[in-house]
Amino acid sequence: MAEGLRERKKRETRQRISDIATGLFVERGFAAVTMADVAEAADVSVNTVYNYFPAKEDLFFDRSAGVVDRLARWVRGRDAGESAARAVLRELREEVEAVSPRVGLMEGYDRFMRVIHEAPPLRSRLWSLQQEIHDNLESALREETGAAAADPLPGLMAGQICWIHQTVFVAIGRQMLAGRKPAEVSREVLVLLDDIEDLLSEKVLNYAVRGDR
């Protein structure tokens, strides 16, 4: 269904407010910027900002919706004969090898990470997002394997797979904060992914193979 004019204008307004807010947060720090500051810079009312973003943290993590279901989407879209963990490893390798901004491999990512590092509310929200990622993945694994509600295995496996994802993002964040070039970090993280795979047990690597039920 084609996007209507009203929906497009709302989407563009939301995106403009988010982009302006991100610029302010990077420039001044998260704590120093108020919702009123964002409204003034975006030339909209404070109520308009709150209509799109109920909390200031929502402004900073505006693109989180695509992140919290990422691992679940990767698992649901895995290839025939591929396990859940190997699908995530493959997807991460492809993103890292492509030096993709989606995994933080871009100039300026260090400024984004520094804002999070200096703001406890953002670190708290990041923890909440990680919990959402885990819960979405656990749900996907239960559906994909037909596991009973009381079966602890999907939750345990989700924890292992989330560890892969988080370890990669932490490594990239630290290296980018240190001023490294994205291409250099990409090469090192590809080696890290090999090390991660070597550490995983066969039970994890062979769980939820596509076609197994």
CB under 8 Å to 213, separation ≥6 — which residues?
Answer: 145, 146
pLDDT of residue 174: 94
How long a stretch of residues is the chain? Answer: 213
Residue 3 has a pLDDT of: 65
Q: Helix, strand, coil: what percent of the chain each, to 5? A: 70, 0, 30
Per residue in 14-29, pLDDT (tens digit) is: 999 999 999 999 999 9
Give yes or no for a contact between 105 and 182, defined as CB atoms under 8 angstroms apart. yes
The per-residue pLDDT for 108 is 87
Res 112: pLDDT:
87
Domain ranges of the chain: 5-60, 65-205
- Residues 82, 95: Cα–Cα separation, whole Å: 18
Is there a contact between 160 and 181 (Cβ–Cβ < 8 Å)? no
Sort residue 104 into left (φ over 0), alpha (ψ -120 to 50) or beta: left
Q: What is the reported pTM?
A: 0.87
CA 6 to chain centre: 29
What percent of the chain shows pLDDT beyond 70?
A: 97
Q: Is the pLDDT of residue 66 over 80?
A: no
Which pair of structure tokens corresponds to residue 4? 């209507």
DSSP state, 54? S
Structurally, at CATH architecture level, domain 65-205 sits in: Orthogonal Bundle (1.10)
In the structure, what pLDDT confidence band is assigned to residue 211 with cuts at 50, 70 and 90? confident
Average the pLDDT over 168-174 and give the result. 95
Question: Where are any strands of DSSP class E within 48-112?
Answer: none
Q: What is the DSSP string of 161-193?
A: HHHHHHHHHHHHHHHHHTT--HHHHHHHHHHHH
Q: Burial code of 30-62, b = ≥16 C-beta within 10 A, e = fewer?
A: beebebebbbeebebeeebbeebbeebbbbbbb
Residue 1 is predicted with a pLDDT of: 57
pLDDT band at 4 (very low <50, low <70, confident <90, very high): confident
39/132 Cα distance (integer angstroms): 29
Count other Cβ atoms within 10 Å, centred on residue 172. Answer: 23
Q: Answer whether residue 2 shows pLDDT above 80.
A: no
C-alpha distances out from residue 154 to 76, 77, 84, 130, 157, Å:
14, 17, 11, 16, 5
* CATH topology classification for 5-60: Arc Repressor Mutant, subunit A (1.10.10)
